[in-house]
Amino acid sequence: MTFPYVLKRASSLFPKQEVIDTIEKKNYKEIYNDSLRLITYLKNNGVKKGDVVSIIGLNSVKFLTLIYAITSMGAIAYPINMRLPPDQLLYTLNKANSKYFIYEKIFKDYADLVKAKRNEQVISFDELKFNMEAAKPESEKHDEAVILFTSGTTGLPKAVMYSHEKMINGALSILNQLSYYNAPAKLTQNDIMFPQIPIYHILSWGSLIIAPLIGAKLIYGGKFDPKMAVDTIEKERVTWISVVPTMMQMLFESGLNKKGLKILIGGSPIPDGLVKKMKDYDMRFSAIYGGTDMLAASITIETEYTSNGLLEYHKVTHPVPMAEFKIESRTEKEPGEILFRAPWMPNGYYNDKEKTAESFTQDGWFRTGDIGYIADDGGLVILDRMKDVIKSGGEWIPSSVLETVISELPFVSLVAVISKKDEKWGERPIAIVKLSKETQDAKEKILSHLNKYVNDGKISKFWVPDDIIFVNEIPLTGTGKIDKKALKDVINKNNEKKSL
């Protein structure tokens, strides 16, 4: 159960299966041989077992090969979030005790920063050499393999360390759910995989491991470009993609219309308007729930409840094999904080006893920071992030529900509902909206749509946002989610200026 085992197996069973990116095309046998020859180069440059080697680059064949070479020699790979601000980048390198920094040339500014601020060997992708002599893999299943960092939207990024066994088991849990069960986003060896999730985000949601495990063709598109992605989906006859909802919205806006496309989608609530678009094109999608600090947790499958329409399957996810949930409330049918545990959980946050004590219980449960409940079919329904729930007059207002309602309108591209301080109620909701096209009386139309839901008894009247603000852009995190922290900072600053 190690990284080199996964790639060696693929090189034997599926030697001619292709992995392609925007520059090169290789098969699993070539990539396995390249990874072993790259070990020799890394060793000649001083990399030793247990060293942390950081990598910053776009999704590519070379990035994949580097991950496998580093982990196969017993070193630890740290795939860097390319959207980290410079100070957070340096913080993560210090926290991980990174010894080597390998970069793609478009990130030369980061490389120059590392050279100036850290005593760390810096190597460009262009300097990497595949020596003629191949080395032997040295890693064992319990060796540390990958260090990852959370996105840092609520503070400094937190680190988690995963062994070979835990990382691969996390990927297997996704594969099991999508292969053994009636999952809408079914995944098989015959699929052509085109993950849009960057490698730095949980190894592209495990697809870097999953594709060679099943021998599927794997395509990387570099930096996410919705127009280029749509072209690639058509040209390469892609059958399966992974996205966050904002990415999917941008793909539609760029002309995606491929009927029957299978989609693994998650990272944030899936708006009803987006669901309708996917259904209109007969696209089959499963929602996924998880995170950097717990890997895969649950993925939508078809149950009696979802098949009969008793539960909308974009709003419920089901525990992957070996995973458990519990709700911290009076009963599991009442909303409360979601706790999770599974065999691949990390041993807390890396070198951070305080944060570990806050989020990991002594009996192995992880506090997710999400609010939800257990549905009748054993699935998980997530209502909101605890930090995003708006508490108005002592009552909760789930921002995700309002976002879902507003997103149904065809002229809405992106929407975020956030809180603003209120002297009377404590907090009140406001909606930040990016339009997909110019629309007259957009605010009135949104309010009318919300009031229809109030009249139908689907939302409470006091949930309706106090204001709707239209913007040209909505900030996104490094993983493509709406950055509510950044939005709140902008709104609060504007409010401070108005009060002066």
Q: Give the CATH number for residue 69.
A: 3.40.50.12780
> What would the two tokens of residue 114 be?
């590392």
> Mean pLDDT, to the nearest integer, of 244-255?
92
CA distance 367 to 328: 9
Q: What confidence score (pLDDT) does residue 459 get? A: 83
Residue 24 and residue 144 in one domain: yes
pLDDT: is 323 or 473 the higher one? 323
**Total of domains in the chain:** 3
CA distance 187 to 141: 26
> Mean pLDDT, to the nearest integer, of 30-40?
96
CATH number of the domain that residue 415 is part of = 3.30.300.30
pLDDT: is 396 or 220 the higher one? 220
> Mean pLDDT, to the nearest integer, of 389-404?
79
Q: What confidence score (pLDDT) does residue 422 get? A: 78
Q: What is the mean pLDDT of the chain?
A: 91
Last residue of a domain, one of 334, 352, 385: 385
Rg (CA), the chain: 23
Residue 349 and residue 275 in one domain: yes
Domain extent at residue 135: 16-162
CA distance 69 to 74: 9
Q: What confidence score (pLDDT) does residue 496 get? A: 46
Q: Does 243 have pLDDT greater than 60?
A: yes
Report yes or no on 176 lying in a domain. yes
Closest CA to 67 of 28, 38, 92: 38
Report yes or no on 408 lying in a domain. yes
Residue 100 and residue 213 in one domain: no
Report yes or no on 478 lying in a domain. yes
Q: What confidence score (pLDDT) does residue 221 get? A: 96
Which amino acid is located at 41 in the chain?
Answer: Y
Q: What confidence score (pLDDT) does residue 500 get? A: 32
Q: Does 494 have pLDDT greater than 70?
A: no
Q: What confidence score (pLDDT) does residue 491 get? A: 66
Q: What confidence score (pLDDT) does residue 490 get? A: 66
Residue 139 and residue 252 in one domain: no
Using one digit for the tens of pLDDT, what is the confidence trace for 433-481? 999 888 889 999 999 999 998 888 778 888 999 999 998 888 887 667 7
> Mean pLDDT, to the nearest integer, of 377-397?
80
Report yes or no on 427 lying in a domain. yes
Residue 179 and residue 319 in one domain: yes
> What would the two tokens of residue 240 be?
């399966």
Report yes or no on 242 lying in a domain. yes
Residue 381 and residue 394 in one domain: no
pTM higher than 0.85:
no
Report yes or no on 2 lying in a domain. no
Residue 376 and residue 228 in one domain: yes
Q: What confidence score (pLDDT) does residue 488 get? A: 77
> Mean pLDDT, to the nearest integer, of 28-48?
96
Last residue of a domain, one of 162, 188, 223: 162
> Mean pLDDT, to the nearest integer, of 370-377?
90
Percent of the chain with pLDDT over 70: 95
Report for 19-33, 330-344, 391-405: range of highest mean pLDDT: 19-33
**Which of 275-289, 307-321, 378-392 has the weakest average pLDDT?**
378-392
> Mean pLDDT, to the nearest integer, of 358-368?
93
Residue 143 and residue 186 in one domain: no
Residue 239 and residue 330 in one domain: yes
Q: Does 182 have pLDDT greater than 70?
A: yes
Report yes or no on 293 lying in a domain. yes
Q: Does 499 have pLDDT greater than 50?
A: no
Q: Does 430 have pLDDT greater than 70?
A: yes
CA distance 491 to 179: 45
Report yes or no on 5 lying in a domain. no
CA distance 151 to 292: 9
Last residue of a domain, one of 162, 180, 197: 162
Q: How far is CA 460 from the centre of its chain?
A: 31
Q: What confidence score (pLDDT) does residue 155 get? A: 64
Residue 126 and residue 145 in one domain: yes
107: which DSSP letter?
A: G
Residue 409 and residue 432 in one domain: yes
> Mean pLDDT, to the nearest integer, of 375-382?
91
Q: Does 141 have pLDDT greater than 90?
A: yes
Output the CA–CA distances (angstroms, integers) from residue 224 to 162, 244, 251, 484, in the order listed: 26, 12, 10, 21
Q: Does 169 have pLDDT greater than 70?
A: yes
CA distance 355 to 349: 7
Q: What confidence score (pLDDT) does residue 493 get? A: 60
Closest CA to 68 of 19, 22, 34: 34
Residue 246 and residue 268 in one domain: yes
Total residues belonging to the chain: 500
